[in-house]
Amino acid sequence: MAAPEKVKGRVIDAHSHIGEMEAWAFYNLKEPVKPTVYEFADATAYLRRLDDAGVERGLILPNYGIPVQSQPFSLNDLVLESIKSSDRLTGGIWVSFLPQNKEMTLKALESAGEAGIVALKTTFLLGGNPDPGTWDDDTREIAEACFDAAEQHDLTFHFHTSAGGSSDINNFIPLVEQYGKRIKIYLVHFGGGV
């Protein structure tokens, strides 16, 4: 693979995902595949990539993409360790609105006020829906805990969006209307996440 061309001026990576994931047999493929194009095992690997590309600093988030709910949560500690290792890095912690992930989400939110944490991250590719009109009481309780943490610690909430399915960009309109004046919302990929 050819070395990336160096960029000129001050460049900051809007976000990248760190942490390794196991390969998965998506769509009943015979051979499991990695869902990532680039996979940075840790801060050192990610910082090497920034240096190679001439990028000054970046935001790191837990890697995700396989249908295992606990997998991205398991990388929150890696993000926390990584941002402490370099002042070039800020981080985001993984959360979920799904009731089955309540304990993992509440534990993750304990780190919302840590120095260097600037974001929360979630996706609805693993279930649920961003439209508050679809939420039951349990989902709303978890979502509100996440919004409270984002508001209290001035965090940007990163939501993965796609074209189609639960993560379709159109499903986010009611969420933005209801919470957009309360917290900062980043609709990642703006519907182009596939």
What's residue 10's pLDDT? Answer: 86
Pairing of strands 12-18, 57-62: parallel
Partners of 158 in the β-ladder: 121, 186
What's residue 6's pLDDT? Answer: 60
Which helix or strand (DSSP H or E) is residue 70 part of? helix 70-73
What's residue 4's pLDDT? Answer: 60
- The residue assigned the tokens 């360790």 is 81
Its pTM surpasses 0.95: no
Residues 171, 164: Cα–Cα separation, whole Å: 9
Which helix or strand (DSSP H or E) is residue 178 part of? helix 173-179
Judge contact between 50 and 83, C-beta under 8 A. Answer: no
What's residue 171's pLDDT? Answer: 93
What's residue 184's pLDDT? Answer: 98
What's residue 2's pLDDT? Answer: 57
Amino acid in the structure at residue 6: K
Question: What SS3 class is residue 114?
Answer: coil
Judge contact between 109 and 157, C-beta under 8 A. Answer: no
Nearest to 16 by CA among 28, 1, 29, 49: 49
Pairing of strands 89-94, 156-160: unpaired
Instruction: Give per-10-residue mean pLDDT for the chain (194 aa).
Output: 63 92 81 78 95 95 93 98 97 98 98 98 94 98 98 97 88 96 94 67
Task: List, in order, residues 6 or more apart from 79 with CB less than 8 Å away.
Answer: 18, 19, 60, 61, 62, 91, 92, 93
